Structures are given as structure tokens and as C-alpha cells.
Amino acid sequence: MLDFNRNHFELFGLSPAFALSRESLERAYRDIQAEIHPDRFAHAGEAEQRLAMQWTARVNEAYQTLRQPFERARYLLELQGVHAMDARNTAMPADFLVQQMEWRERLEEARTAKDFAALQRMESDTRAQAERLERQLAELLDERQDYVQAAEVLRKYRFMDKLRLEIDQAMEELDTP
């Protein structure tokens, strides 16, 4: 059976990196699931069944962490001892804070005006910004190993994720009668 002491990347036989092949992760996940799925242990003893359930939960958690860019970056930083989302560490550059306020104002104006086109433009802009931040994370984590800077970029990325959710919600509100 598998080793509970392995980190998420080791579990799937992948190198620890932000730039991760989605196909490799999917293939490794399917292979492990085929090996440990609880149905394979239906006729085994109670202890083996329980272990299979524990492994399934562990593999699913690892998979969910690695498949999401934010969670993968957060996990990579934690492997390096950096807790980017620590509530005591909320420092952001002043220009980004100003940009946050501007985005929030634009969102509220578009929501109030029921301006679907403005929301679509915001969604496109924030998606492009999130993609830029993902590229920065890949460079900082994989190439430069600048974990302090990566933590700052990750906090920006988290904000963009939340803003994109709010934009999507506003678009859904306008789309449903």
C-alpha cells in the first residue's frame, strides 16, 4: 500500500512544481484510485477496508489540492515553511490595494446599473490578470524559488479568485429573471 508520509507530489510521482501537467496529475490520480478504491477491498477484512477508505480520502485531498492553482501554490509554499495565507500576514502593495478598491467600485456600479456588458469586460480583465499572476507564481516558485515574493503574489491571486466569483455571481443574478 502507499506511504502516508509522502507529500502530495510524491504520492502521485510528480516533481514538486507549480507548472504541473494536468494530464500527468489526472493519469496518476486514476492509477492510484484503481489501486486503492474501497470497492476493491469489499471482501477484505475490516482493517483493510478502513485503510482503503483512509487512502481514498488522502488521495482525493491531495488531488483536489494539486489540481487548483491557488491550492497548489499554497501547498508548495507550505512545503517550504511559508504560510502565505496566515491572517497575520496581509501586507499588500499600496498600488494593488488601490486597484482592489477600483475593481470593487466598478463591480458595484455594474451590478447596480445591471450592466451585463460591463460585468463581462470585468470578468475578462480579471481572468487576464489572474493568468498573469499564475505565470508569475510559476516563475517565482519553479524558477527563482523566491517564496516570500510568491506568497505576496498568491495573496493577490486569492483576491482575484474571490473577485471573479463575485463577478460571476453578479452575472448570474442578471441572467436569471
Burial class (CB in 10 A: 0-12, 13-18, 19+), 143: exposed
87 or 85, which is more confident? 85
In terms of residues, how long is the chain? 177
> Into which CATH architecture does domain 8-67 fall?
Orthogonal Bundle (1.10)
User: Span 68-96, mean pLDDT?
Assistant: 90
pLDDT of the residue at 86:
83
Among 30, 51, 27, which residue's Cα sits nearest to residue 41?
A: 51
d(CA 170, CA 94): 27
**8 A C-beta contact, residue 122 and residue 103:** yes
d(CA 38, CA 101): 49
Indicate the fold that domain 94-175 takes in CATH.
Answer: Monooxygenase (1.20.1280)
Global confidence as pTM: 0.87
pLDDT digits (tens, 9 = 90+) for 91-123: 788 899 999 999 999 999 999 999 999 999 999
Give the pLDDT band (50/70/90) at residue 177.
low
- The residue ranges of every structural domain in the chain are 8-67, 94-175
**Chain mean position to CA 168:** 17
pLDDT digits (tens, 9 = 90+) for 33-55: 888 877 777 777 888 878 888 88
User: To the nearest whole number, what is the mean pLDDT of the chain?
Assistant: 91
| CB count in 10 Å sphere of residue 43 | 7
pLDDT at 151 over 90: yes
User: Span 124-137, mean pLDDT?
Assistant: 96
Percentage of the chain surpassing pLDDT 90? 73
